Amino acid sequence: MIRKFILLSLIFFFPILIYSQDVKESKSEKKEQKQKESDKQLQAFYKLIESRQFIIEATQVYGDQGDVYNVMPSVNFFAVDSVYSTIQLSFVGIVGWNGIGGVTLDGRIDRFDLNEFTSAKPLSLNGSINLRSGGNSQFTMYVYSSGMATVTLTGNWGSSITFQGRLFTLADSKVYKGIPTN
């Protein structure tokens, strides 16, 4: 009787033990595969940023007091084109200096420090822009493997604004640039 019980127990539990081992292995394999895909995406974004031909189309804008605004990505963006940059902030239904309800600032990039690629970490970029109006702006940008990016711009007097949205190539972007206000 005990032999039958032991034999039945082994027959019943042995496949479960093997299956649970397979599940653990497949979870770790899936995690490893996901990390490889994430790194591949980040490397592609790294090359895009390194080329200095990119744009972040913002879907949200954060003020320095923590205010959050949902905005249209077609008229709110941070763009880099070689050594030049454009920052545009516009709100629908508001009359603005740029002709589309906001401000458009053009400038020349003075500093562009892209940190080395590190697996499983967001890309980071620090730089400064000399605006045509004579002021300057410091920026810090982070890009994640999903393509989401944030860029925080800090002006001469310490005020800041953060754009959050998706990273695109300039060729794939569908933004409308207003009249530069500087």
Cα angle value 75/170/87 (rounded, 5°): 40
Digit-coded pLDDT (tens) for 94-152:
878 888 889 999 999 999 999 999 888 999 999 999 998 888 999 999 999 999 999 99
Give the start-to-end residue ranges of the domains of the chain: 1-182
Euclidean distance between CA atoms 22 and 161, whole angstroms:
49
Euclidean distance between CA atoms 66 and 161, whole angstroms:
9
- Provide CATH code, domain 1-182: 2.40.128.410
Q: By percentage, how much of the chain surpasses pLDDT 90?
A: 63
pLDDT of res. 144 = 96
DSSP for 4-53, please give it: HHHHHHHHHHHHHHHHHHHHHHHHHHHHHHHHHHHHHHHHHHHHHHHHTE
The structure tokens listed for 105 are 């600032």
What length does the chain have? 182
pLDDT of res. 134 = 81
Euclidean distance between CA atoms 81 and 99, whole angstroms:
22
Which residue has better confidence, 32 or 58? 58
pLDDT of res. 167 = 98
Euclidean distance between CA atoms 107 and 84, whole angstroms:
6
Cα angle value 33/35/41 (rounded, 5°): 105
pLDDT of res. 67 = 94
The structure tokens listed for 136 are 């300057």
From 17-21, 84-88, 89-93, the region with the lowest mean pLDDT: 17-21
Is pLDDT at 74 greater than 70 in this prediction?
yes
Which residue has better confidence, 20 or 43? 43
Between strands 77-81 and 53-63, the pairing is: antiparallel
Euclidean distance between CA atoms 14 and 12, whole angstroms:
6
Is pLDDT at 37 greater than 80 in this prediction?
yes
pLDDT of res. 1 = 61
Digit-coded pLDDT (tens) for 3-31:
655 554 555 555 555 555 555 667 888 88
Is pLDDT at 160 greater than 90 in this prediction?
yes
Check: CB of residue 178 under 8 Å from CB of residue 98.
yes
pLDDT of res. 15 = 57
pLDDT of res. 146 = 94
Torsions phi, psi for 52 (to 5 deg): 60, 40
